[in-house]
Amino acid sequence: MRKKKKHYFFDISFHQKIFQDYRLLYQKGENRNGGVLIRIKESFSISRVPCSIPNICVVDIKGEDNFRIIGVYAPDSKSWSWDDLSAFVSSKCVIYGDFNVDIMDDGKKADTLLHWADDQSLAHVVPNSHTSLRSNRVIDYAFIKGLNLDIQVYNGNTTSDHLPILSVISLNSSQYKLGKNIHWKVFSLFSEYTFSFWEENWNLSSIDITYNNYIRILYLLSGRCTIVFNLNKYRSALPAEIRSFLSYIRALSFRQLRTKCSTLKKEVCFLKKIAKKELNIFYATQLDNLIRLRNSSSSSSFWYRSKRFFKPSSSSLYGFIDISGQIVKECDRMCNLAADYYENFFKASTIFRPHPYTDSPPTIFDNISESIPEVTLDELLNTVISKKKKKSLDAHGLSNHMFNFLDLNYWSLLLNLYNHSFQKSILPSAWKDTRMILLAKKDSICPPSLTRPISLLDSFQKIGEKLFLTRFCDLLARRGLLSDSQSGFREHFRLQTRLLLFLEDIYSLMSNSAPVCTVFVDFRAAFDQLWYLGCIGKLRNLGIPSSYLNWIEAWLVNRRCYIEINGCKSRWFSIEKGGPQGSVLTPTLFITYK
Position 590 scores a pLDDT of: 82
Angle between helices 546-556 and 459-479 (to 10 degrees): 150
Give dist(CA 295, CA 283) in Å, integer: 19
Segment (H or E) for 497 = helix 495-511
Give dist(CA 20, CA 39) in Å, integer: 11
Position 1 scores a pLDDT of: 39
CA dihedral 125, 129, 133, 137 (to 10 degrees): 60
What is the amino acid identity at position 558?
A: N
Is position 405 within any domain?
A: yes
Give dist(CA 426, CA 175) in Å, integer: 46
Is position 119 within any domain?
A: yes
Q: Please give, one letter per residue, the 3-state secondary structure of 235-284.
A: CCCCCHHHHHHHHHHHHHHHHHHHHCCHHHHHHHHHHHHHHHHHHHHHHH
Is position 258 within any domain?
A: no
Is position 372 within any domain?
A: yes
Paired strand residues for 48: 59
How does pLDDT run along the chain (594 residues), one tens digit per residue? 344 444 445 667 776 667 777 888 888 887 766 688 888 887 788 889 998 888 899 999 887 778 899 999 888 888 889 999 999 999 889 999 888 888 888 888 888 998 998 888 888 888 888 888 888 888 889 999 888 888 888 887 877 888 888 888 876 655 556 778 889 999 999 999 999 999 999 998 899 999 999 999 999 999 899 887 776 655 667 888 888 898 889 888 888 888 888 899 999 999 999 999 999 998 888 888 777 777 666 666 666 666 665 555 556 788 899 888 888 888 889 999 999 999 999 898 887 777 777 777 777 788 788 899 999 999 999 999 988 888 889 999 999 999 999 999 999 999 999 999 999 999 999 999 999 999 888 888 899 988 988 889 999 999 999 999 999 988 888 888 877 777 666 777 777 777 888 888 888 888 888 888 888 777 777 777 778 888 888 888 888 899 999 999 999 999 999 999 988 899 999 998 888 877 888 888 888 877
Is position 416 within any domain?
A: yes
Cis preceding linkage at 448, omega within 30: no
What phi and psi values does residue 99 have, to the nearest 5 degrees?
-85, -10
Burial of 160 (0-12, 13-18, 19+ CB in 10 A): exposed
Instruction: Please state, in angstroms and as integers, the Cα–Cα distance from residue 217 to each residue in 228, 314, 431, following that order.
Output: 20, 38, 16
What is the amino acid identity at position 224?
A: R
In 317-391, alpha helices (H): 331-345, 356-359, 377-386
Is position 217 within any domain?
A: no
Number of domains in the chain: 2
Q: Which three-class secondary structure state does DSSP give residue 333?
A: helix
Contact in structure between 580 and 457 (CB atoms under 8 Å) = yes
Question: Residue 509 contacts by C-beta under 8 Å, 6 or more apart in sequence?
Answer: 515, 516
Question: Residue 508 contacts by C-beta under 8 Å, 6 or more apart in sequence?
Answer: none
Q: How far does the chain reach from its first CA to its final CA, in angstroms? A: 92
Position 454 scores a pLDDT of: 87
Beta strands in 136-211 (DSSP E): 140-145, 149-153, 165-169, 177-182
CA dihedral 266, 270, 272, 275 (to 10 degrees): -160
Domain termination residue (choose one: 169, 188, 220): 169
Give dist(CA 23, CA 42) in Å, integer: 6
Domain that holds residue 537: 319-481+524-593
463 φψ region: left (φ > 0), alpha (ψ -120 to 50), beta (else): alpha
What phi and psi values does residue 447 have, to the nearest 5 degrees?
-70, 155
Position 4 scores a pLDDT of: 43
Give dist(CA 294, CA 302) in Å, integer: 8
Segment (H or E) for 466 = helix 459-479
What is the amino acid identity at position 344?
A: N
Question: Residue 423 contacts by C-beta under 8 Å, 6 or more apart in sequence?
Answer: 371, 372, 374
pTM above 0.85, yes or no: no
In 167-206, alpha helices (H): 184-193, 195-201
Is position 400 within any domain?
A: yes
* Number of Cα atoms under 13 Å in the Cβ half of residue 86: 12
**How far out from the chain centre does Cα 268 lie?**
41
Is position 518 within any domain?
A: no
**How far out from the chain centre does Cα 514 lie?**
57
Considering only CA atoms, which of 254, 301, 249 is closest in space to residue 271?
A: 249
Contact in structure between 547 and 370 (CB atoms under 8 Å) = yes
CATH number reported for the structural domain that contains residue 77 in this entry: 3.60.10.10
Q: Which three-class secondary structure state does DSSP give residue 472?
A: helix
**CA dihedral over 356, 362, 367, 368, signed as positive or negative:** positive
Domain termination residue (choose one: 109, 140, 169): 169
Burial of 433 (0-12, 13-18, 19+ CB in 10 A): buried
Domain termination residue (choose one: 149, 169, 189): 169
Give dist(CA 589, CA 594) in Å, integer: 9
Position 220 scores a pLDDT of: 92
Q: Which three-class secondary structure state does DSSP give residue 10?
A: coil
* pLDDT tens-digit readout, 516-570: 888 877 777 777 777 888 888 888 888 889 999 999 999 999 999 999 998 889 9
Give dist(CA 380, CA 386) in Å, integer: 10
Paired strand residues for 141: 97
* pLDDT tens-digit readout, 33-53: 668 888 888 778 888 999 888
